[in-house]
Amino acid sequence: MDISPFPEGYRGSGLLLHVTSLPTRYGIGDFGPSALTWIDRLAAAGQSVWQVLPLGPMGFGNSPYQLVSTFAGSEFLISPDQLIADGFLLSTECGGHSFPLNQVDYDAVKDFKTQLLEGAWQRFKIDSAAEMREAFNAFCQIEAEWLDEYALFVCLQMRFKSASFLDWPEAFAKRASAVLDEARQDLAERIDRVRFGQFLVFRQMTRVRQYAKSKGIQLIGDMPFFAAPNSCDVWANPEFFLLDEHLRSTFVAGVPPDYFSPKGQHWGNPIYNWEAMRVTKYDWWIRRFRTLLKSVDIVRLDHFRAFAAAWHIPASAKSARKGEWLPGPGAEFFELIRQELGCLPFLAEDLGLITPDVNALRDQFHLTGMRVLQFAFDGDAQNPFLPQNYDHNTVAYTATHDNNTTRGWYEELSKKERRLVLKGLQQRDVRADEVASEMIRQIWASTAALAVTPFQDVLNLGTEHRMNTPGSAEGNWTWRCTPEMLAPENFDWLHELTSSAKRC
């Protein structure tokens, strides 16, 4: 029988904060000193997990759920400080730039990091130690199955000045072997540069994971369910997606109206061809899991319900309301994954419109589910998001990256809705500046194996500090905390709560 990553009797807690939100002087959080400081703060506060969002190269809208590759890491997350420490850069090469302190300017960060990595690449080629060169060559060999395709894809994007491979010359879009072989020769130098960037990303991710382990902190990573339409994944594996003869999607992903979005969500991602994947025994997925598990300990399965059934929207439809549920790979998929990995270190994101087949699939493999307290207050005492209704094999949240901050959420409620919140929390009155700490207290006191809250809720921050608004294409994924927010005293009350709740 499979067990959850959180066995019977386990009581832990942690914080949700994406790497990009860490404070640095380089415009974006990264895998450098601030990540280690963050881990120190978690450990000192008695926490046991750090949950992050997907770590791959962001595509449309800078969303970590619309990745250029579901295998690769984001070069944006490479720490200049660590490059200096490793001898790839001089400190003088990293100065002279000014960035916003409380948000990410992705365009400015891209220009800055690209320039730095070009310098690091030139120094590596001319003056790298034999040990470092051997490590680079070993990485390229071990990861070749995805790395070579990704590096070529990125170089072709630059050659044709287009993120979408559908805009490339047809021979390149449809992967004619002769033109790709020629491109690999012509672009060999740039392909190696892309490989080098991935070597640095994974090298730094590994260092952070090892440091977290030394402090008793597990990393919860995140695997997007769908591949982005303009991704290396689709270009390199068109047979695994429902595409027409022009490589355009026949159906796209989304969800009908639910509590995240009253109009539904039209994501536009291509839908998988599960029959083609089944023939390969889901090898592409297995390789995805193996790659991600080199950097994290537990994988959050985004949009878990699609493993049971996904909402298929006709490509011509302009609204997510039009579509139908069609089956996913189901139990067979997880049986094969278990055989290959030897375990199922997964957290199932079982939110949204959940039907009995989704719960049955989760429970068949004893996967840990999610409960979000902001969804609990409809007046029904049996609401599954109320803490008294949790079972142990659960990760309880005040909110997720898709929710408003808890204080912002409460401030926007009507008087009637606030009364329902007070009833659900079994409180006579809670002020807006108290609701986040009260809701953290309640999930920490619950029977859930793991309790997690976004760092914004620990700091009692309002709507302006929200990370993402589902269904909105602008203004997301930019939030950063300042160095002052990581002051040790901001974690003292969390340590006391964690200790009293016996989650240390």
- Residues acting as catalytic residues: 302, 349, 402
Six-digit token string for 454: 């976004």
Cα end-to-end span (Å), the chain: 28
By C-alpha distance, which of 360, 370, 353, 346 is closest to 311?
353
Residue 425, amino acid: L
How far is residue 85's CA from residue 255's CA, in Å, rounded to a whole number? 46
Q: What is the DSSP track for 180-223?
A: HHHHHHHTHHHHHHHHHHHHHHHHHHHHHHHHHHHTT-EEEEEE
Contacts of 459 (CB under 8 A, 6+ apart): 465, 481, 485, 490
User: Of how many residues is the chain composed?
Assistant: 504
Six-digit token string for 200: 């640095």
Six-digit token string for 418: 């606030």
Q: By the 8 A CB rule, do 106 and 62 touch?
A: yes
Q: How many CB atoms lie within 10 A of CB 392?
A: 17
Q: Is 447 helix (H, G, I), strand (E, B) or coil?
A: coil
How far is residue 267's CA from residue 57's CA, in Å, rounded to a whole number? 18
Q: By the 8 A CB rule, do 233 and 227 touch?
A: yes
By C-alpha distance, which of 343, 437, 446 is closest to 388?
446
178-184's contacts with Cβ under 8 Å and 24+ in sequence apart are 180/152, 183/152, 183/155, 183/156, 183/159, 184/152
Beta bridge partner(s), residue 454: 16
How far is residue 261's CA from residue 263's CA, in Å, rounded to a whole number? 5
How far is residue 434's CA from residue 413's CA, in Å, rounded to a whole number? 15
Six-digit token string for 332: 């067979």
Q: By the 8 A CB rule, do 191 and 267 touch?
A: no
- The torsion angles phi and psi of 318, rounded to 5 degrees, stand at -95, -10
- Helix 283-292 and helix 144-160: axis angle, to 10°? 90
Residue with tokens 């879009």: 173
Beta bridge partner(s), residue 220: 51, 298
